[in-house]
Amino acid sequence: MLRSLPRRLALLLCLLPAPALAAEASNVDPAAADPVADVVLAFLEQRAAPLDGTVQVTVAPATATLPPCPAPRAFLPGHGQPLAGRVTVGVRCQDAGASVRYRRARVSVTGDYWVTARPLDAGTVIRADMLARRQGDLAGLPDQAVLQRDQLLGWETRRPLAAGVVPQSHQVRRPPLIERRQPVTLVAGGEGFRITREGRALDNAGLGGQVRVRLPDRRVITARVTGPGEARVPY
């Protein structure tokens, strides 16, 4: 009985570290052993690098336990998926079945944008003092937000805008150089010749925009606005 005690004690001592090892294993971060997440992270960081601002990418953990994905290659599924905000990334695995899996991620871009400094009436031509700089997550802005000040200066509001809002592309337009019912000079020509005709505008249009013009014989021609009261017809 006395001889067996040391052996039991030794066995007990050998078993004591087991809980500590189990606790250490339970603290392992699953994301650290997630090669698919690593590939998605690197892919999005590379694609988002040209964006203005500070980019931060967060990849959501896998929602199910899946077999290993050999040589994963990431891609953006669909067409026109925005890169900022919540995105879905496809990953092709180089396994026997060439399987494809998808991971969700969020791309946050912290940068400068512009808001209205005060309320603007419809038809207001935007000047520099009508805009105020702000900084934040660009991914949280509307999809059609105009982020560059130079793309707003000199443009006209289509509708009233409250103070502190981000102008969107459908809320502004180039100031019309031609207005509806206004006389318009149509210009057509090529090398060494020029033809002009007079008509009347059926639309409002800004520089570079398309305008429909009714001729005296009632025909309607579409032309591109090149200046005040003037539009060019393709020849």
Per-domain boundaries in the chain: 33-109, 110-173, 183-232
The confidence score (pLDDT) of residue 5 equals 46
Please give the average pLDDT of every successive group of 10 residues along the chain, which has 235 residues. Answer: 47 46 42 82 90 88 89 87 84 90 92 95 94 90 88 93 95 90 91 88 90 95 93 87
The confidence score (pLDDT) of residue 8 equals 54
The structure tokens 């102008």 sit at 167
**What CATH class is the domain 183-232?**
mainly beta
Residues 155 and 174 sit within 8 Å (Cβ to Cβ): yes
CATH code, 110-173: 3.90.1210.10
| Alpha-carbon span 183 to 234, nearest angstrom | 19
The confidence score (pLDDT) of residue 21 equals 35
Kindly report the CA angle at 140 between 62 and 127, in degrees rounded to 5?
Answer: 160
The confidence score (pLDDT) of residue 191 equals 76
Residues 127 and 155 sit within 8 Å (Cβ to Cβ): no
H-helix or E-strand containing 93? none
User: pTM of the prediction?
Assistant: 0.56
| Alpha-carbon span 213 to 217, nearest angstrom | 11
The confidence score (pLDDT) of residue 6 equals 53
| Alpha-carbon span 55 to 228, nearest angstrom | 43
DSSP state for residue 140 in the 8-state scheme: G
Kindly report the CA angle at 123 between 126 and 114, in degrees rounded to 5?
Answer: 30
Buried b (16+ CB within 10 A) or exposed e, 95-127: eeeeeeeebebbbbbebebbbbeeebeeebebe
